[in-house]
């Protein structure tokens, strides 16, 4: 595994760039990204489906390991996955982007994987989030939906500096 940088405020090692994250994913196997207050607060509360009020059997996450159909570089997949829920951090600057592994227990209401037996692996640095936004903007038709119209603000590089301290 790549040598982590200094610990982040959440007590997690900081993952500094997409290459370091790619090395972690290749070494560890299935890994996920989550935007939340961090592993400590997440362990202390039950995840809930906000619309139904039902408890979820794990944490909602976005997969960092590519699907079998993905033929583009791993860095592209990582950038896209990181940017998919970046708006959660912009809406609540107390949220951090952190990487975890664990056991998939099902799917959430948006078809996202739900993970139990969580093993925190690291926090994504502001520099990595900036890099992911730049790769996403350069390599994808960011925000384009099936109808061809642009979706809401996908992952603009200009907003990437809003990561919590």
Better pLDDT: 164 or 100: 100
In a domain, 60, yes or no: yes
In a domain, 9, yes or no: no
In a domain, 156, yes or no: no
In sequence order, the β-bridge partners of residue 98 are: 34, 123
Q: Answer whether 129's CB lies under 8 Å from 97's CB.
A: yes
In a domain, 41, yes or no: yes
In a domain, 71, yes or no: yes
Nearest-angstrom CA–CA distance, 157 and 161: 8
Structure tokens at 122: 């690291």
Nearest-angstrom CA–CA distance, 16 and 124: 7
Closest-CA residue to 81 (of 122, 25, 1, 121): 25
In a domain, 74, yes or no: yes
Average pLDDT, the chain: 83
For 83-116, the pLDDT digits (tens) are: 987 766 676 678 899 999 999 999 999 999 999 9
For 46-68, the pLDDT digits (tens) are: 889 989 999 999 999 999 999 99
Under DSSP, the state recorded for 93 is: T
Number of domains within the chain? 1
Closest-CA residue to 116 (of 8, 54, 39, 1): 39
Better pLDDT: 130 or 159: 130
Question: Which helix (H) or strand (E) is 137 found in, with range?
Answer: helix 126-139
Give the pTM.
Answer: 0.80
pLDDT at 32 over 70: yes
Residue 62 sits in which domain range?
A: 14-143
Measured torsion, CA atoms of residues 140, 71, 146, 109, in degrees rounded to the nearest 10? -100
Q: Which residue has the tokens 């996450």?
A: 61
């Amino acid at each position: 595994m790549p040598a982590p940088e200094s610990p982040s405020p959440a007590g997690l090692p900081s993952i500094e760039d997409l290459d370091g994250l790619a090395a972690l994913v290749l070494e560890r196997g299935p890994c996920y990204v989550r935007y939340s207050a961090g592993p400590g607060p997440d362990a202390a509360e039950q995840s809930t489906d906000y619309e139904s009020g039902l408890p979820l059997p794990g944490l909602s996450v976005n997969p960092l390991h590519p699907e079998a159909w993905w033929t583009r570089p791993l860095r592209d997949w990582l950038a896209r996955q990181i940017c998919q829920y970046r708006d959660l951090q912009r809406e609540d600057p107390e949220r951090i982007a952190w990487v975890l592994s664990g056991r998939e227990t099902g799917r959430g209401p948006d078809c996202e994987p739900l993970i139990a037996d969580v093993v925190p692996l690291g926090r994504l640095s502001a520099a990595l989030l900036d890099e992911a936004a730049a790769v996403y903007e350069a390599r994808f038709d960011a925000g384009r939906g099936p109808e061809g119209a642009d979706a809401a603000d996908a992952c603009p590089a200009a907003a990437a500096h809003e990561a919590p301290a």
